[in-house]
Structure 1
Amino acid sequence: MNAVVVAVGVMLILSLCRVHVVVALIAGALCGGLLGGLGIESTLAAFNKGLGGGATVALSYALLGAFAVAIGKSGLAHALADKALMMVGNRTAHTGQSVKWIVIALLLVVAISSQNILPIHIAFIPLLVPPLLSVMSSLRIDRRLIACVLAFGLITPYMFLPVGFGNIFLNEILLANVAKGGVDVSGVKVTEAMLIPALGMVAGLIIAFFSYRKPRDYDLSRIDAVERVNATYSPVTLLVAAIAIGAAFIVQLWLDSMIIGALAGFVIFSASGVVRWREADDLFTEGMKMMAMIGFIMIAAAGFAEVMRETGQVKSLVDASAAWIGDSKAVAALLMLLVGLLVTMGIGSSFSTVPIIAAIFVPLGVELGFSPLAIVSLVGTAGALGDGGSPASDSTLGPTAGLNVDGQHNHIWDTVVPTFLHYNLPLLAFGWVAAMIL
């Protein structure tokens, strides 16, 4: 049995059994390392080595959490929420539906924009989502739908639009690795190659609107306890908040550092007096606690991924799938996609999956007679598969971080499982169709 398959299987089964994701990742890494012949000491050494790879991201999210709490203190996000609550309070059945769709559309547009127009990825979620929980709960919106909306906005743009993160994924990683495998991609339009798979994501989003259309009730008192929905604010605090957010985004884009960007925003809040100096330490701690789970999962996921690489059986898995294919293009396309799904589910990163699978699957695709357009589509879809639905992916961790601040949204059953069902299954089907007809 391949060590990667066992490791990912153990991690997923334990996660579905409500074992904490960090524990599931550690257990999966140990099982994979031992089965891969590393031994307990080498497995632990590889895991420890990989932990450093997730530290930067974890610290970024911790500082972002502190920045989010400072924004909450200023009242900016709550001013938006109060306006929406006022509309909800005065609603008729018609206006209530209007507010619901306005909230959903706002989150979808911001999520999509976070990948290209203002490439901050999941940084907006702890700033925008928690203050809107009261509005969503008053409208009885199922948070599983919001998780699917956010995941769609975080994944689809980078796998289809060659701008921002999409430029990195499509041009610098996907096309570069396909070309490295010996395929001439000079005439390939990457958006054409990824159009059908992207339509699979659209289909999944539409299905999610149907799946989670029924109202779902949440305890408003638990939201009030953590979100301070009655927070006070003034034009001055709102102006300072706007300046701090603008400064944080500019610094992040300028220095390419979420850590320094969030820190700059927090310093502006402290210097302006919106966050009093004696309160700064408590607010910083509160924000870090809010993002602690996502940080520890990202660190553990980096260790898990390093163990999988050290076993050398990721390549063995890809090689074995190539041996099973034979001469069937239909079987080849399906197996390539399934291997991509498995690898990304374990590593948690589409960007890291493409170089791993492209080395074998690109020459194999050429040998089986796939067109360059089909090969790009196959490898790109295989890389994107598993981003939604992976317990260790920031595309699932981000939505959970915003939706679970009151403890009423389970990471596995309310984010991971819904996004897996609504995106990976359609993406498998649409990706296979793309490979067969392009």
Structure 2
Amino acid sequence: MNVLTNPVFISVVVLTVLSLARVHVIFAILMAAITAGLLSNLSLSDTLSTFLGGMGGQSETALSYILLGIFAAMIAHSNITKMLIDKLLSVKKMNKYMLLLMVAGLTCLSGNLIPVHIAFIPILIPPLLIFFNYLRLDRRAVACALTFGLKMPYILIPAGYGLIFHGIIVQEVSSNGMPVTLSQVPLAMAIPALGMFVGLFIAIFFTYRKPRDYETEEERASHAEIFASSVQLAAGTERVKQKFEVRDVLTLVAIVGALVVQIQVQSLVLGALVGIIVMFAARVVTLGEGEVVVQEGVKLMGAIAFVMLLASGYATVLKDTGSELIW
């Protein structure tokens, strides 16, 4: 079969083009799956039936995302994230390079050690905007630091969201005739992770190192005065510290418990569930608050979980059409 007329190839091209055209990924996957089915002489109903039948292939992954999203919302509900951010922001004599590396480092914790995912960004970034402007920091460098921290850890480290990612690789590669183990994945992923380190270094120290203004001169002068006053005030008075309460200790217990369980049993579902149960049992999140927190968690990760189900259905359509890409 000619590669250019292969249903799999055409389907992937359709998916790529729709994605580049900023069509939502849900519709892009559906259209690509239908394209593969119709080009393989399947009826529309048979294609959809195959697609729906294959969606269960990533059900554990989807459940992991949902539970981890709920756990992340619970952690964000506590004071742990804010206390960690306050501690890092208390570092004196911080220049723009140190600030960017700090943002990248803190973001790295959000996917593996303290799985709050993107929930920390609204806490961290808004208070730093005046600081960014004062340092004349190119915000594209901040975006690179955030992206690095959100992506690199789960690519390399099989914990938290990384365990989901590595599990998908093991499952899908093994199901396609190449048995691999979970311990082999980090070695392979070290190559793209190294590339991301290099990319972050280039972005911070070369590409976006030049000063960039997002304000008028008058606004910069005004904010510079505010910033200087706040520095003097901080130097003359003791910083008001967030008290470390019992609920914060229990939150740490929940985080450690979730991490230990997922490492021991290699199941993020059980790990996240243990963390959630501890948070409820310790009343870090009360049952009355549970409804709101759970909704926040589902809102945070629900779309990603559903996309994983759709991706599994799409993969099933490609397999069941019997279309093999021959080079």
CA distance in 2, matches of 1:102, 1:192: 26
Partners of 2:88 and 2:122 in 1: CA distance: 14
Query: Map of 1:17-56 to 2, 5 A cutoff?
Result: 17-56=21-60
Map 1:29-428; keep pairs closer than 5 Å. 29-87=33-91, 94-108=94-108, 114=112, 123=115, 125-126=117-118, 131-134=123-126, 137=129, 138-139=131-132, 140=139, 141-155=141-155, 203-209=198-204, 210-211=206-207, 213=209, 234-313=244-323, 315=324, 317=325, 319=326, 321=327
Q: Percent identity?
A: 35
Q: 1:213 to 1:60 in 2, by over 3 A?
A: farther
* TM-score normalised by the chain length of structure 2: 0.69
Question: What residue ranges of structure 1 are gaps of 5+ in the alignment?
Answer: 159-163, 181-188, 218-231, 322-438
C-alpha separation in 2, matches of 1:233 and 1:28: 53
Aligned 8 A contact 1:152 1:205 in 2: no
Q: Which residue is equivalent to 1:330?
A: none
Higher relative CO (Cα under 8 Å, sequence separation at least 6) belongs to 2
Residues 135 and 312 from structure 1, CA distance in 2 versus in 1: closer, same or farther, beyond 3 angstroms?
Answer: farther
Measured in 1, the distance between the counterparts of 2:285 and 2:262 equals 21
One-letter code of the match for 2:72?
A
Measure, in 2, the Cα distance between the counterparts of 1:68 and 1:236.
19
Distance in 1 (CA, whole Å) between partners of 2:185 and 2:265 is 29
Counterpart-to-counterpart distance in 2, 1:105 and 1:165:
20
Q: Which has the larger radius of gyration?
A: 2
SS in 2 for 1:291: helix
> What one-letter code is carried by the residue in structure 2 that aligns with 1:239?
V
In the alignment, the residues of structure 2 paired with residue 288 and residue 197 of structure 1 have an alpha-carbon distance, to the nearest angstrom, of 30
8 Å CA contact 1:84–1:99 kept in 2: the answer is no
8 Å contact from structure 1 (residues 71, 127) kept in 2:
no
Return the match for 1:14 from 14, 18, 43.
18
Per the TM alignment, residue 29 of structure 1 is displaced from its structure 2 partner at its CA by: 0.8
Q: Secondary structure at the match of 1:18?
A: coil
**Residue range with higher mean Cα deviation, 192-201 or 69-78:** 192-201
1:32–1:144 Cα change, 3 Å = farther
Shift of 1:135: 6.1
Closer/same/farther in 2, CA of residues 307 and 233 from structure 1, 3 Å limit: farther
RMSD: 4.0
Aligned residue type for 1:307: V
Displacement, 1:126?
Answer: 4.4
Residue pair 1:144, 1:212 contacting (<8 A) in 2 also: no
Distance 1:101 1:135, change over 3 A: farther
SS at match of 1:47: helix
Closer/same/farther in 2, CA of residues 197 and 254 from structure 1, 3 Å limit? closer
With over 3 angstroms needed to count, the CA separation of the structure-2 counterparts of 1:289 and 1:98, relative to structure 1, is same
Distance of 2:276 and 2:293 partners within structure 1: 10
1:80 and 1:69 map into 2 onto residues whose CA distance is: 16
The answer on whether the counterparts of 1:76 and 1:241 sit within 8 Å (CA) in structure 2 is: yes
Contact 2:36 2:317 in 1 (8 A): yes
Q: Which whole-Å CA distance do the structure 1 matches of 2:59 and 2:167 have between them?
A: 25
- Rate the CA distance shift 1:194–1:277 in 2: closer, same or farther, 3 A: closer
Describe the shift of the 1:4–1:179 C-alpha distance in structure 2 as closer, same or farther (beyond 3 A): closer
* In structure 2, C-alpha distance between the alignment counterparts of 1:143 and 1:233, rounded to whole Å: 31
Give a deviation string over 1:151-179, Cα, whole Å, max 9, x none. 33333568xxxxx9989979xx79xx779
Paired residues, number: 276
State the Cα distance separating 1:312 from its structure 2 match.
2.1
Question: What displacement does 1:150 show?
Answer: 3.7
